[in-house]
Structure 1
């Protein structure tokens, strides 16, 4: 059973700080949200899921050479409840997305040794809510399962670029190379430790960098939408009825999923063609 997580009052987290960070730089993190023991168990689960996905045709989506993304089922990991009900996660979701936020995606990225710099990108085209309404209607939480070191291909983000006009980008996601100097001038590399959690707008221009180490850098991804967003269409969140019945009522109200008798194999749907760059 997943180890207990210390719960902290929502009053600890300031909505103004949360909104300022997500609407400003487009990124926010909290240190030590979970114990190292909790993360070690999560890492064990992800390692096994990754091994299984690589054996299955279409089980892992290439995100560049030596780099994969795998979408999973909530009950595939032991810590889903603890993650989705953590006070910081709840506070961020409520502040940015409103009280009716919905979990729509869970998966993980694995940049392996030999992974190269990704092209600068956002994860999907900016919705009208953002381009016209200047509102963020989705968030992506990330949780590393290892202590990230500089040579392990850290995540790199260009703060403030969630508001960039992407209408002329390739697929409305990939800025032209002449813009790269701007992103490189703003770039911040993130090197979290086990137990840290971060959240970002997936529209903020970012990339994974080259992994020159001998270690992989797995990171869990949790996608959350406001009610009017449609990112669930790119995913297939499903839970069994027996698992659903064990969830607290509060969490059920925030879970946009299919309830099934038996879990079905996920057809990895959120491909990002511009990140393939050859075989994964």
Structure 2
């Protein structure tokens, strides 16, 4: 049994025994479930991402740069046909409950799109280390990534440095960007990920990572699902909402974890989760 289960949580309460995944999150900072979804589901996801990306690029503030030829777009749940299947997947539910407790909150839905010509990002984490993590070595949020394509070597795969979620130094720029003097440590540990359609990963966004150079003529869209535990405040940076009509169709098991306003009409998201240190790439 995992020694890192959320306090008071028993493995017997989970839909799936994710003890090895919890241990992986605390040791490597990342874990994955291969073939969690069908390739058809993933292909529909790509269609929905492409439609949302086209719409976002058509208006000011619709997409935010994460480096040259690399964008992030936050969206609303009903823009993705497979949203309920994603958040209600037994593995997703079980990982969230085991790590963050039964009161976890879904606070972010978006996607990254590295285009042809995207360059190496600087090594980084997505936000400064929370005090609970620093003091107690406890994770308070998770990021799930779902690829919409089969990832090849030349498509700029995601690269992560396992075990670096605990790295803590006053030299980190804005608490997120390690100095270049630390890069050797990350390059020695670096593991590139090659997920295929239907795969899903979970990670702590504190683990040092980067997107790499896309040498192909293809995009590599990846859906991002952000989940907070009770103490985390990542939801403050996001504007996810659902319409009343959509809310009424959701299973109660999904509604109780969806931390967002219920509105009569959706307003397209103006991106505010900028990460200034990523704008120029690994310059």
Per the shorter chain, which TM-score range? over 0.9
Structure 1 unaligned residues grouped into runs of 5+: 1-8
Q: Which residue of 2 aligns with 1:22?
A: 25
1:131 is matched with 134
Partner of 1:59: 62
Which one of 102, 112, 116 corresponds to residue 115 of structure 2?
112
Q: Post-superposition shift, 1:166?
A: 4.0
Write the mapping of 1:1-280 to structure 2, written as runs, cut at 5 A. Answer: 13-277=16-280
Using the alignment, how far apart are the partners of 2:18 and 2:219 within structure 1? 35
**TM-score under structure 2 normalisation?**
0.93
User: Which whole-Å CA distance do the structure 2 matches of 1:115 and 1:80 have between them?
Assistant: 28
Moved over 2 A (4+): 9-16
Report the Cα offset of residue 10 of structure 1: 8.3
C-alpha deviation, 1:168, in angstroms: 2.4
- Match of 1:195, SS state, is coil
Deviation, 1:58, is 1.0
TM-score scaled by length of structure 1: 0.94
Work out the CA distance in 2 between the residues paired with 1:269 and 1:143: 22
Counterparts of 1:11 and 1:119, CA distance in 2: 37
Q: List alignment gaps of at least 5 residues for structure 2.
A: 1-11
Report the counterpart of residue 4 of structure 1 in structure 2.
none
Deviation per CA, 1:116-170: give whole Å up to 9, x if none: 0000000000100111121100000000000000010000000010000043211
Cα RMSD (Å): 1.3
Shift of the alpha carbon at 1:15? 3.5
Alpha-carbon shift at residue 227 of structure 1 (Å): 1.3
Check whether the contact 1:42–1:145 (CA below 8 A) recurs between aligned residues: yes
Equivalent position SS for 1:132: helix
Aligned positions, number: 270
